[in-house]
Amino acid sequence: MARKTVSRKRKAAAASAAGPGGLYGEQYGWDHSVHKRKRLPPVKEFHLGTLNKVFASQWLNHRQVVCGTKCNTVMNVFSDIKVHAQGLRLCGLKSFISRWSACLHCSASENGNSDGHKDWIFSIAWISDTMAVSGSRDGSMGLWEVTEDVLSKSDARHNLSQVPVYAHITHRALKDIPKENTNPDNCKVRALAFNNKNKELGAVSLDGYFHLWKAEHTLSKLLSTKLPYCRENVCLAYGQEWSVYAVGSQAHVSFLDPRQPSHNVKSVCSKERGSGIRSVSFYEHIITVGTGHGSLLFYDIRAQRFLDERPPRACYGQKQKLGGSEILKLTTGKGWLNHDETWRNYFSEINFFPNAVYTHCYDSSGTKLFVAGGPLPSGLHGNYAGLWS
């Protein structure tokens, strides 16, 4: 009984310190799984051979992750199955999104096509089991439908070849994002995120704007708003439970609620200036941020603070100062780097390059975090992939 009494007193003290809502206590209620991941060796590194920069990833189930790379390769990391997208220029698979319920994969190359976009495709978001929206460097968004006819032809080719196959489709609709208030040459659609409840699609463009579209059987513009931080807006995620979009920029994550006025946008600094935020995701009330310096940071949207790294025996996580406290920061490993002519001419005197976290994703249980990317300089050829569990 004495032990239980002490426990209750401690809980009461923690709730009191938290203030209204008990946010501080709630934060560390979730911390158990974070520290559980951290106490284990946090990274199982995968050897991807000579593949160049993993740009996108998705769990298919609790044992399989698929990736899309800059060198136009789709790969199942755990089984080492690789499929090269033949006929595409070596510009990369920027987006590789899986819709579990339809068992479909949709890949986007950076070279456009005569039937739709005229320039690179940077992002894809599924809006139903058979329809997806793409965002392009040419400033347009395309709506695509995977029909039964396409599926049957793909199945027939797969049965003949016994290897994964892909099919080409034409767009159902093509819309340009607004260009009235900015430089038309900089209206590149960089990232997309879908709100399934309201059937709304968020998009960010490199001119520093957030655009909201109604996305069902067609695309209809709802609003456009200027972002508070306009440099390197390259990633976007939607938190269903919180009804907010998270936008990653050069040094900040900005939170947008389309129902609120634009001046109510809240932003937090990643404290890694210069490298840029390269990936962002929601899992429950934790926002995971991947940076160009190869760091993973964890922001608690309820407590409105980054997660602290409190236990003293944190040999795998690194500590980073933030307003006098220390935050949890996990860091990618060495990976593989090609010592080619570009490296020899411009980078050979630099001993180590951090691997930018271009993509990360949790499995359905939230206990496994797959992280991948490669060197940040565009001219360098390399890769990294690892697993926290």
What tokens does 87 get? Answer: 């006929």
Which residue is it, tokens 């340009």?
A: 176
- Domains of the chain are 21-388 (2.130.10.10)
| Top mean-pLDDT range of 39-43, 110-114, 320-324, 347-351 | 347-351
Element containing residue 174 per DSSP (H, E): strand 171-176
Asked whether residue 158 carries a pLDDT value surpassing 70, the answer given is no
Distance CA 388, CA 368 (A): 6
Query: Any idea which of 117-121, 162-166, 287-291 has the lowest mean pLDDT?
Result: 162-166
What tokens does 337 get? Answer: 């780097």
Instruction: Say which residue, 126 or 84, is predicted with more confidence.
Output: 126
Residues 50, 51, 53, 56: is their CA dihedral positive or negative?
Answer: negative
Q: What value, to the nearest 5°, has the Cα angle with vertex 195 and ends 230 and 61?
A: 105
Residues 6+ apart with CB under 8 A from 44: 386, 387, 389
Residue 384 CA: distances (Å) to CA of 173, 315, 336, 344, 360: 36, 21, 6, 20, 11
Distance CA 285, CA 20 (A): 18
User: How many residues in the chain?
Assistant: 389
Which residue is it, tokens 């979009």?
A: 245
Give the pLDDT confidence score for residue 329 in this predicted structure.
Answer: 87
